[in-house]
Structure 1
Amino acid sequence: MTEISAPLPNAVDARSATVRDFAQSELFERTFKEGMALVEETAAYLDGEGRRDSKLLSRQAALAYAAESMTLTTRLMQIASWLLVQRAVREGDMEPSAACAPRYRLAPRPVPATPTSLDLPIALIEYLVRAEKLHDRIVHLDRRMFVDAAADSAANPVQSQLDRLAAAFGR
Protein backbone atom coordinates (compact mmCIF):
# COMPACT_ATOMS: atom_id res chain seq x y z
CA MET A 1 0.00 0.00 0.00
CA THR A 2 1.44 3.37 -0.97
CA GLU A 3 1.37 6.42 1.27
CA ILE A 4 -0.47 9.51 0.06
CA SER A 5 2.00 12.41 0.10
CA ALA A 6 -0.32 15.20 -1.05
CA PRO A 7 -2.52 16.92 1.52
CA LEU A 8 -5.81 15.16 2.00
CA PRO A 9 -8.88 16.86 0.55
CA ASN A 10 -10.43 17.61 3.94
CA ALA A 11 -7.17 19.13 5.20
CA VAL A 12 -6.95 21.29 2.08
CA ASP A 13 -10.60 22.29 2.46
CA ALA A 14 -10.00 23.20 6.11
CA ARG A 15 -6.98 25.36 5.24
CA SER A 16 -8.87 27.01 2.39
CA ALA A 17 -11.75 27.80 4.73
CA THR A 18 -9.30 29.24 7.27
CA VAL A 19 -7.71 31.44 4.59
CA ARG A 20 -11.10 32.61 3.33
CA ASP A 21 -12.33 33.33 6.87
CA PHE A 22 -9.18 35.27 7.73
CA ALA A 23 -9.34 37.31 4.53
CA GLN A 24 -12.91 38.34 5.42
CA SER A 25 -12.04 39.23 9.03
CA GLU A 26 -11.66 42.55 10.76
CA LEU A 27 -8.20 41.40 11.91
CA PHE A 28 -7.11 41.15 8.28
CA GLU A 29 -8.58 44.57 7.50
CA ARG A 30 -6.66 46.20 10.37
CA THR A 31 -3.44 44.33 9.56
CA PHE A 32 -3.71 45.23 5.87
CA LYS A 33 -4.21 48.93 6.62
CA GLU A 34 -1.35 48.93 9.12
CA GLY A 35 1.00 47.14 6.74
CA MET A 36 0.26 49.33 3.74
CA ALA A 37 0.48 52.49 5.84
CA LEU A 38 3.90 51.37 7.11
CA VAL A 39 5.06 50.73 3.54
CA GLU A 40 3.96 54.21 2.47
CA GLU A 41 5.42 55.95 5.54
CA THR A 42 8.73 54.16 5.14
CA ALA A 43 8.96 54.95 1.42
CA ALA A 44 8.26 58.63 2.13
CA TYR A 45 10.93 58.66 4.85
CA LEU A 46 13.57 56.91 2.74
CA ASP A 47 12.92 59.20 -0.24
CA GLY A 48 12.83 62.40 1.80
CA GLU A 49 14.04 62.94 5.32
CA GLY A 50 15.97 59.66 5.34
CA ARG A 51 17.94 60.65 2.26
CA ARG A 52 18.90 63.91 3.95
CA ASP A 53 19.76 62.07 7.18
CA SER A 54 22.01 59.61 5.37
CA LYS A 55 24.07 62.40 3.79
CA LEU A 56 25.01 63.65 7.24
CA LEU A 57 26.42 60.30 8.36
CA SER A 58 30.03 59.16 8.46
CA ARG A 59 31.14 56.77 5.73
CA GLN A 60 30.77 53.72 8.01
CA ALA A 61 27.38 54.85 9.30
CA ALA A 62 26.22 55.60 5.73
CA LEU A 63 27.10 52.04 4.71
CA ALA A 64 25.18 50.72 7.72
CA TYR A 65 22.25 52.97 6.78
CA ALA A 66 22.25 51.56 3.24
CA ALA A 67 22.33 47.96 4.52
CA GLU A 68 19.58 48.54 7.08
CA SER A 69 17.36 50.38 4.59
CA MET A 70 17.71 47.47 2.15
CA THR A 71 16.75 45.05 4.92
CA LEU A 72 13.79 47.25 5.82
CA THR A 73 12.63 47.55 2.22
CA THR A 74 12.92 43.80 1.64
CA ARG A 75 10.97 43.00 4.81
CA LEU A 76 8.22 45.45 3.91
CA MET A 77 7.90 44.04 0.39
CA GLN A 78 7.52 40.53 1.84
CA ILE A 79 4.83 41.80 4.19
CA ALA A 80 3.04 43.65 1.39
CA SER A 81 3.14 40.58 -0.87
CA TRP A 82 1.61 38.38 1.83
CA LEU A 83 -1.08 40.94 2.55
CA LEU A 84 -1.90 41.38 -1.14
CA VAL A 85 -2.38 37.62 -1.55
CA GLN A 86 -4.86 37.67 1.33
CA ARG A 87 -6.62 40.68 -0.21
CA ALA A 88 -6.85 38.84 -3.53
CA VAL A 89 -8.66 36.03 -1.69
CA ARG A 90 -10.94 38.56 0.00
CA GLU A 91 -11.87 40.17 -3.33
CA GLY A 92 -12.38 36.84 -5.10
CA ASP A 93 -9.38 37.32 -7.42
CA MET A 94 -7.63 34.25 -5.99
CA GLU A 95 -8.99 30.96 -4.75
CA PRO A 96 -8.20 30.28 -1.09
CA SER A 97 -6.66 26.94 -2.08
CA ALA A 98 -4.21 28.77 -4.38
CA ALA A 99 -3.25 31.08 -1.52
CA CYS A 100 -2.24 27.98 0.45
CA ALA A 101 0.69 27.33 -1.92
CA PRO A 102 4.09 27.32 -0.20
CA ARG A 103 5.37 30.13 -2.42
CA TYR A 104 2.99 32.51 -0.63
CA ARG A 105 4.26 31.66 2.86
CA LEU A 106 6.15 34.24 4.84
CA ALA A 107 9.53 33.04 6.11
CA PRO A 108 10.44 33.71 9.73
CA ARG A 109 12.72 36.65 10.24
CA PRO A 110 16.34 35.70 10.91
CA VAL A 111 17.61 36.46 14.38
CA PRO A 112 18.74 40.08 14.22
CA ALA A 113 22.44 40.74 14.37
CA THR A 114 23.86 43.50 16.48
CA PRO A 115 23.24 46.89 14.93
CA THR A 116 25.78 47.67 12.24
CA SER A 117 26.15 51.21 13.54
CA LEU A 118 25.06 53.09 16.61
CA ASP A 119 24.93 56.29 14.55
CA LEU A 120 21.84 55.38 12.53
CA PRO A 121 19.05 57.97 12.53
CA ILE A 122 16.44 57.24 15.18
CA ALA A 123 13.67 57.43 12.56
CA LEU A 124 15.24 54.58 10.59
CA ILE A 125 15.57 52.50 13.75
CA GLU A 126 11.92 53.14 14.58
CA TYR A 127 10.83 51.98 11.11
CA LEU A 128 13.02 48.88 11.47
CA VAL A 129 11.44 48.03 14.83
CA ARG A 130 7.89 48.59 13.54
CA ALA A 131 8.54 46.45 10.47
CA GLU A 132 10.06 43.65 12.59
CA LYS A 133 7.07 43.64 14.94
CA LEU A 134 4.57 43.58 12.07
CA HIS A 135 6.56 40.87 10.28
CA ASP A 136 6.60 38.72 13.42
CA ARG A 137 2.83 39.14 13.86
CA ILE A 138 2.17 38.17 10.25
CA VAL A 139 4.49 35.17 10.51
CA HIS A 140 2.45 34.13 13.54
CA LEU A 141 -0.79 34.49 11.56
CA ASP A 142 0.73 32.58 8.64
CA ARG A 143 1.80 29.71 10.90
CA ARG A 144 -1.61 29.57 12.58
CA MET A 145 -3.35 29.47 9.19
CA PHE A 146 -1.11 26.98 7.42
CA VAL A 147 1.33 25.08 9.62
CA ASP A 148 -0.71 24.75 12.81
CA ALA A 149 -3.93 24.06 10.89
CA ALA A 150 -2.23 21.23 9.01
CA ALA A 151 -0.74 19.85 12.24
CA ASP A 152 -4.13 20.00 13.97
CA SER A 153 -5.76 17.96 11.23
CA ALA A 154 -2.86 15.48 11.20
CA ALA A 155 -2.85 15.16 15.00
CA ASN A 156 -6.05 13.12 15.10
CA PRO A 157 -5.16 9.63 13.76
CA VAL A 158 -8.81 8.54 13.51
CA GLN A 159 -9.75 11.62 11.49
CA SER A 160 -6.66 11.07 9.37
CA GLN A 161 -7.80 7.54 8.52
CA LEU A 162 -11.35 8.73 7.79
CA ASP A 163 -9.94 11.42 5.49
CA ARG A 164 -7.86 8.80 3.66
CA LEU A 165 -10.91 6.57 3.20
CA ALA A 166 -12.96 9.50 1.91
CA ALA A 167 -10.17 10.39 -0.52
CA ALA A 168 -9.83 6.80 -1.70
CA PHE A 169 -13.53 6.46 -2.39
CA GLY A 170 -13.86 9.88 -4.00
CA ARG A 171 -15.97 11.53 -1.33
Structure 2
Amino acid sequence: MQEQGLNTVNFAGRAANSSQFKTLYSEGMALVEETATYLDGTGRAASKVLPRIASVLYAAESMRLTTRLMQMASWLLLQRAVNNGEMSRDQVLAEKNKVRLDGFNVDRNAPGWNELPEGFRDLVERSLRLQNRVALLDREIYRPSDAVSVPDNENSVRAQFNLLQTAFGN
Protein backbone atom coordinates (compact mmCIF):
# COMPACT_ATOMS: atom_id res chain seq x y z
CA MET A 1 0.00 0.00 0.00
CA GLN A 2 1.44 3.34 -1.02
CA GLU A 3 1.61 6.16 1.46
CA GLN A 4 -0.90 8.84 0.58
CA GLY A 5 0.61 12.04 -0.78
CA LEU A 6 3.69 10.50 -2.43
CA ASN A 7 2.19 10.59 -5.92
CA THR A 8 0.63 14.04 -5.69
CA VAL A 9 1.85 16.87 -7.85
CA ASN A 10 3.42 19.84 -6.08
CA PHE A 11 1.51 22.65 -7.79
CA ALA A 12 3.12 25.35 -5.66
CA GLY A 13 6.60 24.25 -6.75
CA ARG A 14 5.51 24.24 -10.37
CA ALA A 15 3.76 27.58 -10.01
CA ALA A 16 6.99 29.11 -8.76
CA ASN A 17 8.69 28.20 -12.02
CA SER A 18 5.80 28.88 -14.39
CA SER A 19 4.46 31.60 -16.64
CA GLN A 20 2.30 32.67 -13.69
CA PHE A 21 5.46 33.36 -11.68
CA LYS A 22 6.89 35.30 -14.59
CA THR A 23 3.71 37.38 -14.67
CA LEU A 24 3.90 37.94 -10.90
CA TYR A 25 7.57 38.89 -11.24
CA SER A 26 6.80 41.35 -14.04
CA GLU A 27 3.90 42.85 -12.08
CA GLY A 28 6.06 43.25 -9.00
CA MET A 29 8.97 44.88 -10.77
CA ALA A 30 6.65 47.14 -12.78
CA LEU A 31 4.95 48.26 -9.57
CA VAL A 32 8.35 49.05 -8.02
CA GLU A 33 9.23 51.18 -11.03
CA GLU A 34 5.81 52.84 -11.21
CA THR A 35 5.95 53.68 -7.49
CA ALA A 36 9.44 55.15 -7.73
CA THR A 37 8.36 57.32 -10.65
CA TYR A 38 5.26 58.45 -8.79
CA LEU A 39 7.07 59.24 -5.54
CA ASP A 40 9.80 61.19 -7.36
CA GLY A 41 7.35 63.13 -9.53
CA THR A 42 3.61 63.46 -9.18
CA GLY A 43 3.61 62.25 -5.58
CA ARG A 44 6.29 64.68 -4.48
CA ALA A 45 4.32 67.60 -5.90
CA ALA A 46 1.02 66.32 -4.44
CA SER A 47 2.54 65.79 -0.98
CA LYS A 48 3.61 69.43 -0.75
CA VAL A 49 0.03 70.71 -0.78
CA LEU A 50 -1.45 68.20 1.69
CA PRO A 51 -2.81 69.33 5.05
CA ARG A 52 -0.35 68.69 7.91
CA ILE A 53 -1.94 65.45 9.21
CA ALA A 54 -2.17 63.99 5.71
CA SER A 55 1.40 65.12 4.98
CA VAL A 56 2.73 63.24 8.01
CA LEU A 57 0.70 60.17 7.05
CA TYR A 58 1.94 60.42 3.46
CA ALA A 59 5.57 60.44 4.66
CA ALA A 60 5.01 57.40 6.89
CA GLU A 61 2.99 55.45 4.33
CA SER A 62 5.43 56.19 1.51
CA MET A 63 8.22 54.71 3.65
CA ARG A 64 6.08 51.63 4.37
CA LEU A 65 5.16 51.34 0.69
CA THR A 66 8.79 51.53 -0.38
CA THR A 67 9.85 49.00 2.24
CA ARG A 68 7.01 46.63 1.30
CA LEU A 69 7.94 46.79 -2.38
CA MET A 70 11.65 46.29 -1.72
CA GLN A 71 10.91 43.23 0.41
CA MET A 72 8.70 41.77 -2.34
CA ALA A 73 11.27 42.58 -5.02
CA SER A 74 13.93 40.81 -2.95
CA TRP A 75 11.73 37.71 -2.67
CA LEU A 76 10.93 37.77 -6.40
CA LEU A 77 14.61 38.11 -7.29
CA LEU A 78 15.54 35.24 -4.97
CA GLN A 79 12.83 33.03 -6.46
CA ARG A 80 13.96 33.93 -9.99
CA ALA A 81 17.55 33.05 -9.03
CA VAL A 82 16.53 29.59 -7.78
CA ASN A 83 14.31 29.09 -10.84
CA ASN A 84 17.23 29.95 -13.14
CA GLY A 85 19.66 27.71 -11.26
CA GLU A 86 21.74 30.69 -10.11
CA MET A 87 21.23 29.80 -6.44
CA SER A 88 20.43 26.58 -4.65
CA ARG A 89 17.27 26.20 -2.64
CA ASP A 90 19.38 26.16 0.55
CA GLN A 91 21.08 29.44 -0.43
CA VAL A 92 17.69 31.00 -1.12
CA LEU A 93 16.33 29.74 2.20
CA ALA A 94 19.25 31.38 4.03
CA GLU A 95 18.70 34.70 2.22
CA LYS A 96 14.93 34.48 2.32
CA ASN A 97 14.99 34.63 6.11
CA LYS A 98 16.01 38.29 5.76
CA VAL A 99 12.92 39.08 3.68
CA ARG A 100 9.75 40.17 5.44
CA LEU A 101 6.48 39.59 3.59
CA ASP A 102 4.04 40.56 6.31
CA GLY A 103 3.45 43.21 8.91
CA PHE A 104 3.09 46.15 6.53
CA ASN A 105 -0.64 46.62 6.85
CA VAL A 106 -2.32 49.97 6.41
CA ASP A 107 -4.80 51.71 8.66
CA ARG A 108 -7.32 53.08 6.17
CA ASN A 109 -9.17 54.74 9.07
CA ALA A 110 -6.14 56.80 10.11
CA PRO A 111 -6.71 60.54 10.22
CA GLY A 112 -5.75 61.99 6.86
CA TRP A 113 -6.03 58.72 4.87
CA ASN A 114 -8.86 59.99 2.68
CA GLU A 115 -6.95 63.21 2.03
CA LEU A 116 -4.00 61.33 0.51
CA PRO A 117 -3.76 61.53 -3.28
CA GLU A 118 -5.87 58.89 -5.01
CA GLY A 119 -2.88 57.74 -7.09
CA PHE A 120 -0.88 57.14 -3.93
CA ARG A 121 -3.68 55.22 -2.22
CA ASP A 122 -4.01 53.10 -5.39
CA LEU A 123 -0.31 52.23 -5.28
CA VAL A 124 -0.62 51.26 -1.62
CA GLU A 125 -3.65 49.04 -2.30
CA ARG A 126 -2.02 47.35 -5.28
CA SER A 127 1.16 46.74 -3.29
CA LEU A 128 -0.84 45.11 -0.50
CA ARG A 129 -2.62 42.79 -2.95
CA LEU A 130 0.69 41.85 -4.54
CA GLN A 131 2.24 41.33 -1.11
CA ASN A 132 -0.55 38.90 -0.22
CA ARG A 133 -0.05 36.92 -3.44
CA VAL A 134 3.71 36.70 -2.88
CA ALA A 135 3.28 35.72 0.78
CA LEU A 136 0.80 32.96 -0.11
CA LEU A 137 3.12 31.56 -2.76
CA ASP A 138 6.05 31.78 -0.35
CA ARG A 139 4.17 29.79 2.29
CA GLU A 140 3.23 27.11 -0.23
CA ILE A 141 6.72 26.78 -1.69
CA TYR A 142 8.79 26.96 1.47
CA ARG A 143 6.65 25.32 4.12
CA PRO A 144 8.26 22.25 5.68
CA SER A 145 7.80 19.13 3.56
CA ASP A 146 6.12 17.30 6.42
CA ALA A 147 3.37 19.93 6.38
CA VAL A 148 2.55 18.93 2.81
CA SER A 149 1.28 15.48 3.73
CA VAL A 150 -2.43 14.98 3.21
CA PRO A 151 -4.46 13.74 6.17
CA ASP A 152 -6.12 10.37 5.61
CA ASN A 153 -9.57 11.90 5.85
CA GLU A 154 -8.89 14.66 3.28
CA ASN A 155 -9.31 14.16 -0.42
CA SER A 156 -5.88 14.63 -2.06
CA VAL A 157 -7.47 16.18 -5.16
CA ARG A 158 -9.17 18.74 -2.91
CA ALA A 159 -5.85 19.44 -1.18
CA GLN A 160 -4.15 20.07 -4.54
CA PHE A 161 -7.06 22.26 -5.63
CA ASN A 162 -6.58 24.33 -2.47
CA LEU A 163 -2.89 24.71 -3.33
CA LEU A 164 -3.87 25.96 -6.79
CA GLN A 165 -6.25 28.49 -5.28
CA THR A 166 -3.56 29.69 -2.91
CA ALA A 167 -0.96 30.02 -5.66
CA PHE A 168 -3.14 31.57 -8.34
CA GLY A 169 -6.06 33.10 -6.44
CA ASN A 170 -9.77 32.57 -7.11
> What TM-score comes out, normalization by structure 2 length?
0.72
Q: Return the match for 2:103 from 106, 109, 119.
A: 109
Cα pair 1:22 1:28 within 8 Å, conserved: yes
Structure 1 portions without partners, runs of 5+: 1-14, 157-171
Answer yes or no: is 1:126 the counterpart of 2:122.
yes
In the alignment, what sits opposite 2:28?
35
In the alignment, what sits opposite 2:155?
none
Answer yes or no: is 1:81 the counterpart of 2:83.
no
Cα pair 1:82 1:104 within 8 Å, conserved: no
Matches within 5 A, 1:23-62: 23-62=16-55
Cα pair 2:74 2:99 within 8 Å, conserved: no
Spell out, residue by residue over 1:100-155, the C-alpha distance to the aligned partner (whole angstroms, 9 max, x if none): 34515543335532334121000110000000000001111111112274412496
- In the alignment, the residues of structure 1 paired with residue 35 and residue 105 of structure 2 have an alpha-carbon distance, to the nearest angstrom, of 22
In the alignment, what sits opposite 1:69?
62
In the alignment, what sits opposite 1:144?
140
Amino acid at match of 2:22: E
Answer yes or no: is 1:100 the counterpart of 2:93.
yes
Identical aligned pairs, as a percentage?
A: 42
Q: Secondary structure at the match of 1:100?
A: helix
Q: Per the alignment, do residues 24 and 110 of structure 1 end up closer, same or farther by CA in structure 2, a change over 3 Å counting?
A: closer
Amino acid at match of 1:108: D
Cα pair 2:71 2:99 within 8 Å, conserved: no
- In the alignment, the residues of structure 1 paired with residue 90 and residue 151 of structure 2 have an alpha-carbon distance, to the nearest angstrom, of 21
Q: Per the alignment, do residues 90 and 115 of structure 1 end up closer, same or farther by CA in structure 2, a change over 3 Å counting?
A: same
Runs of 4+ residues over 6 Å off in structure 1: none
* CA deviation after TM superposition for structure 1 residue 68, in Å: 0.8
- In the alignment, the residues of structure 1 paired with residue 104 and residue 72 of structure 2 have an alpha-carbon distance, to the nearest angstrom, of 15
Q: Per the alignment, do residues 150 and 69 of structure 1 end up closer, same or farther by CA in structure 2, a change over 3 Å counting?
A: farther
Q: Per the alignment, do residues 144 and 104 of structure 1 end up closer, same or farther by CA in structure 2, a change over 3 Å counting?
A: farther
Q: Per the alignment, do residues 77 and 88 of structure 1 end up closer, same or farther by CA in structure 2, a change over 3 Å counting?
A: same
Q: Of the two, which has the highest radius of gyration? A: 1
Q: Per the alignment, do residues 115 and 150 of structure 1 end up closer, same or farther by CA in structure 2, a change over 3 Å counting?
A: farther
Structure 2 portions without partners, runs of 5+: 1-9, 153-170
- In the alignment, the residues of structure 1 paired with residue 85 and residue 123 of structure 2 have an alpha-carbon distance, to the nearest angstrom, of 32
- In the alignment, the residues of structure 1 paired with residue 84 and residue 137 of structure 2 have an alpha-carbon distance, to the nearest angstrom, of 19
- In the alignment, the residues of structure 1 paired with residue 87 and residue 141 of structure 2 have an alpha-carbon distance, to the nearest angstrom, of 16
Q: Higher helix proportion, which one?
A: 1
